[in-house]
Amino acid sequence: MVHSEIVLYRTRDLFPKQQILLRIDKILNMKDGLSLDELADVFSPTLGEVEMSAQLLLERNIVSQISLDLLKEAGREQSLYALEQIMMLYVLDKLLMSGDITRQEGALLIEVMSEHYYRFTGKPSELVLIRKMGVPSFMLVTAGTEFYFDNGVKVVLRKPMGTFMEELKLKLG
């Protein structure tokens, strides 16, 4: 009996109930429009080789001009964007458009994702924004990681990167 309690505890840590319920809800809502193979592709952690120009990203409504302009200001504009850069632009755009981050924080996000996102490819991870006395800082962490700060630090945003990837896959079709 002790062994099963340990297994349940570990399973609960690896698969938080809220995330499981959200995924089940997505599957139920998408199942009528997609085949099982298409559903599996949406929820798989990889997407294969993808490259797109800025113009194509705009035409397909994947990102806005504001995000591309911010990327240009950061000196990271390219003629073609690979999946990692498209993911960074998509996350940037979603957070800017929702009002979750400012343009200044967007520039920080570009730096953090450009430098470190590749380390989390294929792994469950989270994007975390913290502030101390109004000064923002982004972190990319392995999903489920616990972290502790002094009393002056506030966690402003904590979002699973897998959610962004699932949304992006649907847009890329």
Helices 65-73 and 103-116: angle between axes, nearest 10 degrees: 70
Range list of β-strands (E), 19-110: 51-52, 81-82
Neighbours of 139 (CB within 10 A): 16
Per-residue confidence at 3, pLDDT binned at 50, 70, 90? very low
pTM over 0.95: no
- Dihedral angle sign, alpha carbons of residues 173, 111, 116, 23: negative
CB burial string 38-73: b at 16+ within 10 A, e below: eeeebeeeeeeebebebeebeeeebbbeebbebbee
Q: What is the pLDDT of residues 107-116, one digit of tens each?
A: 999 999 999 9
- pLDDT for 9 equals 38
Q: What is the pLDDT of residues 8-65, one digit of tens each?
A: 334 444 445 665 666 666 666 655 666 666 555 555 545 567 899 999 999 999 999 9
Q: Which of 32-36, 102-106, 128-132 has the lowest mean pLDDT?
A: 32-36
What gap in Å lies between CA 136 and CA 124, rounded to an integer? 23
Q: What is the pLDDT of residues 68-97, one digit of tens each?
A: 999 999 999 999 999 999 999 999 999 999
- Dihedral angle sign, alpha carbons of residues 93, 86, 142, 103: negative
Q: How buried is residue 90: exposed, middle or buried, by Cβ count under 10 Å (0-12/13-18/19+)?
A: buried
Q: Contact 88/117 with Cβ under 8 angstroms?
A: yes
